[in-house]
Structure 1
């Protein structure tokens, strides 16, 4: 550990404990029990939130249903909806620091990354606003002289939005503005580990003048809040981001009402490195891909597949760069990797590494918890594990931490086979100066996103989502927007009825 770059505590002055409330029909509500969030980096309570129950969740759903049916949001013009979303985007940018500090304290992520997440989310709201004004259907004027067909797109209705702890503000902004742009009303449940930035979002929505009942927030746990949101008959759609295991439970729970379900789940994302690649850029991208957000990222490039001719050299490059990555106090703007979200998850990460070693893998760097002066041991060292075989759990399952596994290949076909030998299909990357190699890989890889000679670049215009057990449906972009719309066909007779009557009414 003496070779690592560790950032000790900077003695950040913590803000007052944030008091989180539910938002129901435009009113802030705090009734009954509460729950605390202890900062993974600082070990003290940083938020105290109202604890929702079944009755509170039903109140929120009823408010969303009543508001949707009233047309106060669902039937106003796209121009009006867009104007409200643009106000929210401006308010997000005016409140970046306040939201980012709270998110960093609750999640353990570096403050610089939290600021980027919150500030960048404003662009998602502005893009969604553009979609609110430009959505359209189709017309069919070739059905005969007395017929006109029109296909319209209506808001799907009441949407339950359930978000995770790793990017609570960003992932909310991948869902909420697009649902609102479509004309839906919503009930939101953030993770109980990072609830506060969602409450802060609610404050911005109220300030922006969003009508009461359009967005309702219920704080609490999956049982009972998430369960009611997934099964209630007045909910038309559930959109969830989180683990594959929970996604399957939501699908099962929602089956009784046949509501629409959109899922963004786990990943075991590879970067494939060919010998002709720009190895300096690839090394930097791999290092970023595995350590960004403490590796607690569905898009983390947690496995690399390296051509055997360059494997030893490439691993050495990644290890050398890993030693320079700044791990430690999340509140230090220089820190690049912060704390693990819970002690239990820290132990789970270490368990994967230790089992791999027992199975014959080698730890090139890291492989243990990391103590940070003044902050404790809820950190994990930057870890690179080589000598991994495709059957090991560390190569197949989502570790969700700063742990990189290394596999090797000889041919393009073998690299693609290793890429696709996974239950997941969220994202993949390829590094090569040969455009033919990149194109063939991109076409054959089972992944919702394929990056070539880059990693984790994203834009509001481009859809995001996975194949196989990485989920169903898409987020952001026009495809993500259309998840919140229902297609309706209008068949209209516009001239005299020239058909012969089906029933002859004469003698």
Structure 2
């Protein structure tokens, strides 16, 4: 591992106060009804980061009741788009003023580099401002062609109470892909962040209160999927569940929610392919591939963890990727030069390694990495950049979401073969194509099964464009006006003009 670029832990300081997180229920900060707490340590420094109230059924029920009451009686759904927009803009300004504080906690709890955490929080500010703009655009339709005595009006109304369940890999960004859109629509919400990264969502709750959000409109319950997440998915007073996380948990939520037939929106796993054709700019492709697979240590649903490269250029491209991978700085997340930080937990690092070792036993070639990474001065959990080739699409490393800094390399001969390989996984979140031929790019983009397709780039994103997957990568969309539509219900109103209705009973 001495060939890699390492940023040593001894160059940074980890002095911080332990964060104390409590539930936000009906506008009040509360400990758990039974007094239970849980702690979160830093995966990179092995220091205590936060102590949080551990929610139980009583806490979840209280939060849901507060959201239900706020929706039914507070008048929040009836506020104007302008009023909701102004509040969201105040929240955005407060987030912008607290970037450093939020980013530090996110880095300590998640292990991601501080520079990337800051960028994530800054990107979240844009999402809140975009949702604020959308709040003033909600409108229905009118139909005046139904006859001279009829007028049809289609209303768009907030769906009700939204249960928002977020993951550990981008805790602040993902709650910002959901909550501001729910509020813009006029919904109320109950939020459960991951037990691994609870604290930045608590800070968001503080900022919501400071911005003047009415009590009960947004509630936060800290804790674990059982019982908090389960109750949020089954409770009859919840009208919608929006969840980001693993496909396995997403399937469980769909099953749990079926008892009340509530709406479910899911952003789940991905095994995202990039097809690199022989005429592609290999230097540009290699740089984007390295970014795509190591960003956030590969713990990203959009990770570019699978490349499908034309056999004529496969050797040259892999050489470029290996050379660039050795220059990526792995190390202390608090160091400003670090590009890849810690893995979220020892258990997850073991899971990542199991995929690599399984592929190796099956005859795969390990070009780089394939083992845990030691960082001088840090006791934490790291895994080295790993590149694996000589695999086929039946191997778990080629079809499963590894969720780590591991790149699987497959090859193809024809466009049809590339598309077949890209579509062979059960996921369909995102995909990419690299070619100087626009016709190749367009055909691939139209035929690949994915919610997002990048051409000659990877992981660019904008608040205006919808995000979500097909197949087992989920259902529903976030961002764009489609993200707002998830939180709206449609109602038809038929109005007869004048006394023109003909009697049925004569």
TM tier, shorter chain? over 0.9
Deviating beyond 4 angstroms after TM superposition, the runs of 4 or more aligned structure 1 residues are: none
Q: Does 1:201 align with 2:229?
A: no
Give the whole-Å Cα distance in 2 for the aligned partners of 1:501 and 1:316.
Answer: 82
Give the whole-Å Cα distance in 2 for the aligned partners of 1:501 and 1:466.
Answer: 51
Give the TM-score normalised by the residue count of structure 2: 0.99
Deviations 1:373-425 (A, max 9, x none): 11125100000001111110000000000000000000000000000001000
Q: Which residue of 1 aligns with 2:405?
A: 402
Q: Does 1:46 align with 2:55?
A: no
Contact (CA 8 Å) 1:145, 1:495: kept in 2 or not?
no
- Coordinate RMSD, CA, aligned: 0.7
Q: CA deviation at 1:44?
A: 1.2
Q: Does 1:440 align with 2:449?
A: no
Contact (CA 8 Å) 1:369, 1:377: kept in 2 or not?
no
Q: CA deviation at 1:228?
A: 0.5
Contact (CA 8 Å) 2:168, 2:196: kept in 1 or not?
yes
Q: Which residue of 1 aligns with 2:505?
A: 503
Q: CA deviation at 1:452?
A: 0.3
Q: CA deviation at 1:72?
A: 2.5
Q: CA deviation at 1:135?
A: 1.2
Contact (CA 8 Å) 1:72, 1:211: kept in 2 or not?
no
Aligned residue pairs total 503
2:434 corresponds, among 431, 435, 449, to: 431
Contact (CA 8 Å) 2:45, 2:380: kept in 1 or not?
no
Q: Which residue of 2 aligns with 1:315?
A: 318
Deviations 1:105-144 (A, max 9, x none): 0000000000000111011011111111011111000111
Q: Helix, strand or coil: the match of 1:257?
A: coil
Give the whole-Å Cα distance in 2 for the aligned partners of 1:380 and 1:96.
Answer: 28
Give the whole-Å Cα distance in 2 for the aligned partners of 1:477 and 1:36.
Answer: 36
Q: Which residue of 2 aligns with 1:70?
A: 73
Contact (CA 8 Å) 1:283, 1:314: kept in 2 or not?
yes
Give the whole-Å Cα distance in 1 for the aligned partners of 2:318 and 2:50.
Answer: 41
Contact (CA 8 Å) 2:12, 2:335: kept in 1 or not?
no
Q: Which residue of 2 aligns with 1:298?
A: 301
Gaps (5+ residues) in structure 1?
none
Deviations 1:67-126 (A, max 9, x none): 000142111101000000000111111000000000000000000000000111011011
1:36 corresponds, among 13, 34, 39, to: 39
Deviations 1:460-488 (A, max 9, x none): 10000000000000011111110000000
Contact (CA 8 Å) 1:293, 1:338: kept in 2 or not?
yes
Q: Helix, strand or coil: the match of 1:256?
A: coil
Contact (CA 8 Å) 2:12, 2:332: kept in 1 or not?
no
Give the whole-Å Cα distance in 2 for the aligned partners of 1:58 and 1:500.
Answer: 50
Q: Which residue of 2 aligns with 1:7?
A: 7
Gaps (5+ residues) in structure 2?
none
Q: Which residue of 2 aligns with 1:466?
A: 469
Deviations 1:271-314 (A, max 9, x none): 11011111111110000000000000000000100000000000
Q: Which residue of 2 aligns with 1:420?
A: 423
> What pairs with 1:275-354 in structure 2 (closer than 5 Å)?
275-354=278-357
Give the whole-Å Cα distance in 1 for the aligned partners of 2:414 and 2:321.
Answer: 22
Contact (CA 8 Å) 2:43, 2:380: kept in 1 or not?
no
Q: Which residue of 2 aligns with 1:16?
A: 17
Give the TM-score normalised by the residue count of structure 1: 0.99
Q: CA deviation at 1:496?
A: 2.5
Structure 1, 128-137 or 163-172: larger mean CA deviation:
128-137
1:218 corresponds, among 216, 221, 225, to: 221
2:261 corresponds, among 258, 263, 271, to: 258
Q: CA deviation at 1:369?
A: 0.2
Q: Helix, strand or coil: the match of 2:177?
A: helix
Q: CA deviation at 1:145?
A: 1.3
Q: Does 1:191 align with 2:201?
A: no
Q: Helix, strand or coil: the match of 2:178?
A: helix
Give the whole-Å Cα distance in 2 for the aligned partners of 1:500 and 1:386.
Answer: 75
Q: Which residue of 2 aligns with 1:273?
A: 276
Give the whole-Å Cα distance in 2 for the aligned partners of 1:98 and 1:381.
Answer: 29
Q: Which residue of 1 aligns with 2:369?
A: 366
Q: Which residue of 1 aligns with 2:396?
A: 393
